[in-house]
Structure 1
């Protein structure tokens, strides 16, 4: 199979986007994520793949919990906020209303559809993303929604390129 064939097939899927947040101590992190899926019905499990280039990935390595915020079609501003800035240099939560969830994860008050998960493993098979299989520990389903999709965010410039690799600790934690 050619790269063009793979890219064409994947582009046709137009996956929903979520914002993943996590925290360790006072360090909070969050990013826009397109790779995620339910992975078990019983017990309830969900997987999320984080880019190794992201600040969120490096914080998640030290955290047991993640919050997965399911975006609605009207959430372009949140997608832009979490998808275009780097948590290496910016506190993405400084001006956002949040509450603290299980394990200290920041919950975005403006997102009514959220899963909080406890990471059960980390799978790094050498690609630019790692898989975090997780157990669902809490769920909030505020209202029916139409998922915000990748095609709606295609114009956004990411805060990091997928080729970047940073080593822990994160830059903000080290200062």
Structure 2
């Protein structure tokens, strides 16, 4: 019997994964420059955390080359990925920067602080890293937007469309 004060014994981990697996949210591509190093990856864990002041959180896997470069970078770029940018998603989500020079395979230009801005993503912002938060197998980068461009609108690349992508690195 269930009701107030009664718990249902379930596989919490499996149930939670199924619940969040049904969410429909946008994927992003994060790019970073630190010295001569460029890196970028597809990101599914992200959200706006404050309106006043503006804050946004992106989470990078500790296994990812982008994470290693971002640990010494003052700013990150967050790209809103158009739904039709399948090849870009495959490049930044399915290849590892440890093996592949992603930036030789796509059009980009240096943005604020030299951060790569992907030409196929007309909507983006660059954020100053305010804090790095240990969140388990990912590290959260709390960003303060310092530059932004909006030159189009949705639809953006959805999580559901990226679920079957074989990642360049395990999370």
Q: Whole-Å Cα distance in 2 between the matches of residues 71 and 47 of structure 1?
A: 17
Matched pairs, number: 161
TM-score for the superposition, normalised by structure 2: 0.91
Return 5+ residue gaps in structure 2 as ranges. Answer: 1-9
RMSD: 1.1
SS of the residue aligned with 2:16? helix
Q: Does structure 2 conserve the Cα–Cα contact (< 8 Å) formed by 1:22 and 1:66?
A: yes
Measured against aligned partners, the alpha-carbon deviations of 1:71-113 in whole angstroms (never above 9, x if no partner) come to 1111111110100111011110013211111111000011100
Larger Cα Rg: Structure 1 or Structure 2? 2
Inter-partner Cα distance in structure 1 for 2:164 and 2:45: 18
Match in the other structure for 1:93:
103
Partner of 1:106: 116
Pick which of 62-71 and 95-104 moved more. 95-104
Partner residue of 1:64 out of 74, 91, 94 = 74
Alignment of 1:141-152 (within 5 A): 141-152=150-161
**1:44 and 2:61 are equivalent in the alignment:** no
Distance in 1 (alpha carbons) for counterparts of 2:67 and 2:163: 22
- Secondary structure at the aligned position of 2:133 is classed as coil
Residue 158 in structure 1 maps to residue 161 in structure 2: no
Q: What is residue 5 of structure 2 aligned with on the other side?
A: none
Runs of 5+ unmatched residues, structure 1:
163-175
Partners of 1:144 and 1:88 in 2: how far apart?
Answer: 32
Q: Which stretches of structure 1, 4 residues or more, deviate above 3 A after TM superposition?
A: none
Structure 1 residue matching 2:103: 3-state secondary structure:
coil
Cross-structure match for 2:137: 128
| TM-score normalized with structure 1 length | 0.89
